[in-house]
A = this chain, B = another copy of it.
Amino acid sequence: MKKRVSIKDIAKQLNISITTVSFVINGKAREKNISESLTKKVLDLVAELNYQPNALATSLRTGKTKIIGFLVDDISEPFFAGIARRIDEIASSLGYKILFSSTRNDTEKAIELLQIFKDRHVDGYIMALPEGLEDEVKKLIQTDAPVVLFDRYVQDVKTDYVIIDNKNSTYQATEHLIENGYKKIGFVTIDTVQQQMVDRLTGYEAAIEAYSLSPIVKKISYVNSSASIEEMVKFFKAENQLDAVIFAANYICLDGLRTFRKLGIKIHKDLAVVSFDDFEILEFCEPPVTAIAQPLEAIAENVMKILLNKLKKTAKPVENAQVSLPTILNIRGSSLKK
């Protein structure tokens, strides 16, 4: 394994100090009044030897790693994987890299992972917070660490975040069903205090109330897919007068569709359907299923914009950037008028 060239090697070969080399490499030649001829000599040798500064040394010295920590429930979920891709794209174009980890909704594990990110001196944090991390994140923010949350925010933590307008999204979806003549509209969600899920329920309830209908809500205690299907089987059997249903997230909808197969429930014919989150399967259902689509790219882009802004700022305390993005209701056959 041949030794890497270091700044010393460059300096030695040119018979100058490493200071000068460092200045040139960091583009401070003009600022430091280094002669053009010398600057060129350095640059030429750097190119010739293919010198790359040791990022570790730079990091130790400057305290910056150009690494961003990305913490989510599960990187393999399409929603998170999609955001990860776009975030990496933007980050890479600016010299940042992404270190990720999945919490699997385990509070202990999440705290541990956060500590690891800290130990590794990531420059910034992008997180979809699991429950129970409120205090940790508060502490983190107090150290002036750049943090941007997404997907869900936490009520009493003052920080930057990018979310979607959950309340409005389910309000409109519910209204869409009502306008198409549906009156007994169920809402299937999970039993959680996570803000995004609470907001989705609230939006549904608001629409139901605005039109003087009765809410019919099922909160699944999500453990796994088969348990979730069992709960839904019971629900749909008990609530057999339903004429429409809204599933509050993609994995809930997926289990809902499985439940339909099991019970022989026909989409639209027996029950109008709207899914929160749009995903490929919906397009293949018969008829295709109406869905509230989250703007993945826009979420990723907003997150990065805010984070990069914070990374640039030098201790200039700004107001929290709190962005709420609109969703798109993709109307398909499952929710049409009968």
Residues of A within 8 A of B (CB): 1-2, 52-57, 59-60, 65, 67, 74-78, 81-82, 84-85, 88-89, 92, 97-102, 113, 115-116, 118-121, 143-144, 254, 257, 261, 280-281, 284-286
Contacts and interface: CB of A to CB of B under 8 A. Distances in A.
Given A143-B2, A144-B1, A97 B97 contact: no
A280 to B, nearest CB: 6
Contacts of A67: 99
A88 B75 contact: yes
A120 B89 CA distance: 18
Nearest to A89: B102
Can you tell how many copies of this chain the complex includes?
2
Contact of A285 (B2, B78, B143, B284): B284
Contact of A119 (B52, B81, B144): B52
A120 B97 contact: yes
A66 B98 CA distance: 15
Given A76-B82, A285-B284, A60 B52 contact: no
Give the 7 A-B CB pairs with smallest separation, nearest first.
A81-B81, A76-B85, A76-B81, A56-B60, A76-B82, A55-B120, A56-B59
A57 B57 CA distance: 8
Given A84-B100, A92-B116, 5 more contacts: A75-B81, A76-B81, A88-B101, A100-B100, A257-B284
A261 B287 CA distance: 12
A56 B92 CA distance: 21
A44 B99 CA distance: 31
A113 B121 CA distance: 21
Contact of A102 (B1, B53, B57, B88): B88
Interface centre among A76, A78, A89, A281 (most CB of B within 10 A): A76
A285 to B, nearest CB: 7
A280 B280 CA distance: 9
A84 B88 contact: no
Nearest to A145: B1
A82 to B, nearest CB: 5
Given A1-B143, A75-B81, A88 B100 contact: yes
Contacts of A57: 60
A301 to B, nearest CB: 15
Contacts of A78: 76, 78, 81
A135 to B, nearest CB: 15
9 contacts: A56-B56, A56-B60, A76-B81, A77-B81, A81-B84, A88-B102, A97-B120, A98-B101, A284-B284
A127 B257 CA distance: 36
A255 B318 CA distance: 47
